[in-house]
A and B are shown apart, each in its own frame.
Chain A
Amino acid sequence: MKKLVAVLLVGLMLLLLFINMFDGSLEFNKMDLADVDGNYYAKNPIVSNMVTSVVVDYRSFDTLGEVTVLFVSSLGVAFMLGGLTTRIKFKHDDSFFLRIGVKVLFPIIVIVGVFMFVHGHLTPGGGFPGGALIGGAMLFKYISDSKYRAKISAFKVLEGTMGSIYVLLGIVGILVGNYFLQNILDIGELGNLISGGLIPIIYVLIGLKVGSELTGIFDHFMNEEV
């Protein structure tokens, strides 16, 4: 009965959508947001990756809020699962090949992550996937070795420092320039590694912060009740 009601409800919404789409009142393809100011971002380039210039320059304050949301969620996970202290025991023993393979792969994955957030203003990628890759490298260590514990307190210090530096950079923008998180440094030449002013610096901060936050969440999820 409940399934029938759900199917009817969802089908009704779909039907309304299709009717609107075919009589022309919903035309998503015509809704070109870039035409608000005629390819504004392409005409006034800050860095060559336009998505990065939106994330870290035009809407840097949003990104600060987003990083705060991730911080609050990692705090919430720590609050929910903080009482659990012992590691989950797998049913199988540690595999020798897995351990050696992870030892070889770990530095490569970390280097790829660092490359991603250092080059975030030139190539696809950036602070968020780079930080997530570093967190994933720590996750490999956890899976390969059943006794491994990361130094979570060091990661917490790293995370707090990076967040504080981000806010401090914003306040420096008020003091030196005009508004919060203003890009006060010289933008430089388009396409160089050292260009874009504050953008590479902030992306490195975001990458380290996201990586340490995700490592904290993983550590809590690997625990179980005694």
Chain B
Amino acid sequence: MSLQLGLQIALGVIMVVIAIIAVEAKKIISSVIYLSLLSLLAVVGFVLMSAPDVAVTEAVIGSGIVTFLFVFTLIGVNKQTAIKEDSINDLDVHTISPLEGGDIK
């Protein structure tokens, strides 16, 4: 079982690094995508810890639905920003979509 132990240690190190990147990233959208990646690695961890039920649930919900909710929060807000810029000029907001490299203040 030493192979499994080695896999767990390697997975753990990668997960910790990705979690730090997700918390510390400058761009919001990359933070969200690293969170999705962390979720996917957690699925591998659950399979290694012999919990297939939890792994299936985390794969569907953690890395699919939660990412959708975050991304569409950002997209919806970006549209509202563009509308607000017409009425209030001194807001100084970005209008580039976060998916195209811009960022939301």
Contact B57 A136 (CB under 8 A): no
Contact of A135 among B65, B79, B83 (CB under 8 A): B65
A contact face: mostly helix, strand, loop, or mixed: helix
Known A-B contacts: A129-B59, A136-B64. Give 16 more (CB < 8 A).
A51-B53, A88-B72, A88-B79, A124-B55, A125-B53, A126-B53, A128-B57, A128-B61, A129-B56, A129-B57, A132-B60, A132-B61, A135-B65, A136-B65, A217-B69, A221-B69
Question: Given contacts A49-B53, A124-B55, A214-B65, are A224 and B79 in contact (CB under 8 A)?
Answer: yes
Contact B80 A225 (CB under 8 A): yes
Q: Which residue of A lies closest to B84 (CB)?
A: A225
Task: Write the nearest CB–CB distance from A120 to chain B, whole angstroms.
Answer: 9
Q: How far is the CA of A221 from the CA of B68 in the complex (A)?
A: 9
B contact face: mostly helix, strand, loop, or mixed: helix
Q: How far is the CA of A133 from the CA of B83 in the complex (A)?
A: 34
Residues of B within 8 A of A (CB): 52-53, 55-57, 59-61, 64-65, 68-69, 72-73, 75-76, 79-80, 83, 97
A184 at the interface (CB under 8 A from B): no
A59 at the interface (CB under 8 A from B): no
Contact A129 B79 (CB under 8 A): no
A2 at the interface (CB under 8 A from B): no
Residues of A within 8 A of B (CB): 49, 51-52, 88-89, 91, 116, 124-126, 128-129, 132-133, 135-136, 139, 214, 217-218, 221-225
Contact of A225 among B57, B73, B83 (CB under 8 A): B83
Q: Which residues of A contact B52 (CB under 8 A)?
A: 124
Q: Which residues of A contact B68 (CB under 8 A)?
A: 139, 218, 221
Question: Given contacts A221-B69, A221-B76, A224-B80, are A133 and B60 in contact (CB under 8 A)?
Answer: yes
